Structure 1
Amino acid sequence: MKIIEIHHPYTKDQIPNEPVVLVLGFFDGVHRGHQKVILTGKKLAKEKNVKLAVMTFNQHPSVVFKKQEGENLKYLTTLKQKEYHMERLGVDYLYEIEFTSNFAYLKPQDFVDQYIVGLHAVAAVSGFDYTYGPKDIADVAHLPEYAKERFDIVTVAKKTLDGDKISSTRIRDLLDEGNMEEVAKLLGYIYEIEGTVVHGDARGRTLGYPTANIRFKNSVRLPVEGVYVSEIKVAGNWYKAMSSIGHNDTFGEGRKLTVEVFILDFNKDIYGETVRVRFNHLIREQVKFAGAEDLIRQLNQDEEDTRNYFYK
């Protein structure tokens, strides 16, 4: 897969000079609804014997339209994770458009001319709710008007699960509940984050539970604070683990939010490693304990629950 980063306006030499089926969307989470849209494009590209291209943005449009601070946004997938899923789905070209004010205020006709026709699309594929400007004039219903029969238009109906639309918003709500099983059903994979193992306060060692402290991006959407059955990928290998998202309130108020991972039957030094952490199942939400002894008793139970999850 070739990644093409675009800052508006682009130059023609940045665009591969060949026809493509172009799939449009932001695709936060690359969930099963998104996958349906992308795989529809993939099937059409095969039928037309052309490459499959996907166009997405480096940041959410609300950063520009709502003047929202970027660090306050919480994404289900980082751009790097999005790239991983796109490659896994068989995308040939991934256009990553910098969503700037200059790009955001393109008129609908200019967007179609420059970012669909200009990208040599023989067909444009999107979800039913895709917009490329003000909703009342730049939705999929208006696309034929701007297309002027220069490319085919394929609109993919919403994908549902248990009667409700699969959406990034629905997934975020489930993350807030810690319902990781339902999150995985909607995503089509187990929810995970990526980060770097850094030094913490080493308190876990004194409790008998040495943990890998994960430094993650501020823009990452975490599940609800709690203790989870998890897995961690270190140097290409997945290990069974127990993780904690919380502020360690037992040892004082106002502490920084951390993600700490206790890896089962593991004693290697992994500081500095870039890792991926999956959240399979919420064991319990965070509580403040009276002291270290009560916390240790609960951690012992958490470890037993984790081992039972994997081995029973």
Structure 2
Amino acid sequence: MKTINLEYPFDKNKIPNEPIALALGFFDGVHLGHQAVVKTAKQVADKDNLKLAVMTFNQSPSTVFGSESEDSFRYLSTLTRKEELFSDLGVDYLYVVKFTDSLIKLNGQEFVDNCIISLHAQAVIAGFDYTYGPKETANMTTLVDYAKGRFSITSVDEIFYNQGKLGTTSIKAALSNGEITNANEQLGYNYQNTGTVIHGLKRGRELGFPTANLDVDKKEYLPADGVYITEILIDDIWYPSMTSVGFNITFDDVMELSIETYILNFNQDIYGKEVKLKWDKFLRPEIKFAGIDALIEQLKQDEKDTENYFEKTV
């Protein structure tokens, strides 16, 4: 897959001169609903002998048109993660369009004429609620008029989960409640974060449970405080692990949120390494223990529960 960064007006020299099936959306999380759009686009592309392309944006529309700032917004998937997921779905070209004042000022017809058509789209596929300007005038219904027969249009229906709408909002809500299984089912894969292993207080080592302290990308959404069964990717190998998110409330000297991962049967120096963390299952909430001994006993139980989980999933 090739990623192509564009800024309006598009540089024609950056755009491959071949017809495409174009999937539209921001695709934060590339969850099951997004996957349905891309898979539908893939079917159209294969049927019509077209390349498969996705057009997304460099930042969330919520930070451009909504009340959230880009500095405070947290993503389910960074661009790097999106590239991995789209590549797995068979996408040939990923167009990442930068939000600029000139782009934002386009009306629906101008967006179609100057963006969609310029990418050589022969087919356009998007979710039923996709908009490309004011939702009253730039939606999937009005797209038929703007297209003027120059490309086919496929609208992908809404997907539901537990009698509610499946989407980025419901996935973030699940993560915020520690409902990892719920979030993973909506995503269609186990949620991941990326980070760097940094030095911590080394308290885990003193307790007999040495942990890798992770500095997670500040742009990524984190699950709720608690202890989880996880997997950590180090040098292209996934290792079973358990991870604590929180403030180590048994102690009084931790002022900032920490992400600490205890890796089962592992004894390597990994300080400074870039890693990925995959969230498999919620174990328990963060607990303030009466003393060190009680904490150690609970950690032993957490380790046993983690071992049992991986024995059953192998």
For normalisation by structure 2, the TM-score amounts to 0.96
How far the C-alpha of 1:185 sits from its partner, in A, is 1.3
How far the C-alpha of 1:67 sits from its partner, in A, is 5.4
SS in 2 for 1:22: strand
SS in 1 for 2:76: coil
SS in 2 for 1:141: coil
**Contact 1:61 1:104 (C-alpha < 8 Å) held by counterparts:** no
**Contact 2:127 2:158 (C-alpha < 8 Å) held by counterparts:** yes
Give the AA of the match of 1:279: W
**1:160 paired residue number:** 160
C-alpha separation between the residues in 2 aligned to 1:49 and 1:171? Answer: 35
SS in 2 for 1:72: coil
1:14-33 matched pairs, under 5 angstroms? 14-33=14-33
Give the AA of the match of 1:240: P
Give the AA of the match of 1:255: M
**2:216 paired residue number:** 216
C-alpha separation between the residues in 2 aligned to 1:181 and 1:67? Answer: 30
SS in 2 for 1:118: helix
Given the alignment of the two structures, is residue 191 of structure 1 paired with residue 191 of structure 2, yes or no? Answer: yes
C-alpha separation between the residues in 2 aligned to 1:253 and 1:212? Answer: 18
**Contact 2:232 2:275 (C-alpha < 8 Å) held by counterparts:** yes
**1:174 paired residue number:** 174
Give the AA of the match of 2:289: F
Give the AA of the match of 1:221: Y
**Contact 2:193 2:217 (C-alpha < 8 Å) held by counterparts:** no
Count of paired positions: 312
**1:299 paired residue number:** 299
**2:97 paired residue number:** 97
Give the AA of the match of 1:277: L
Between stretches 47-56 and 107-116, larger displacement belongs to 107-116
C-alpha separation between the residues in 1 aligned to 2:279 and 2:67? Answer: 32
1:69-80 matched pairs, under 5 angstroms? 69-80=69-80
SS in 2 for 1:249: coil
Given the alignment of the two structures, is residue 274 of structure 1 paired with residue 271 of structure 2, yes or no? Answer: no
How far the C-alpha of 1:116 sits from its partner, in A, is 0.6
* Gap runs ≥5 in structure 1: none
Give the AA of the match of 1:13: N
**1:55-83 CA deviation, whole Å, 9 max, x = no partner?**
01111012222353212111111110010
**Contact 1:64 1:101 (C-alpha < 8 Å) held by counterparts:** no
**1:62 paired residue number:** 62
Given the alignment of the two structures, is residue 232 of structure 1 paired with residue 229 of structure 2, yes or no? Answer: no
SS in 2 for 1:293: helix
SS in 1 for 2:130: coil
**Contact 2:20 2:120 (C-alpha < 8 Å) held by counterparts:** yes
Give the AA of the match of 1:244: S
For normalisation by structure 1, the TM-score amounts to 0.96
What is the percentage of aligned positions where both structures have the same residue? 48
**Contact 2:59 2:98 (C-alpha < 8 Å) held by counterparts:** yes
Give the CA RMSD over aligned residues: 1.4
**Contact 1:231 1:279 (C-alpha < 8 Å) held by counterparts:** yes
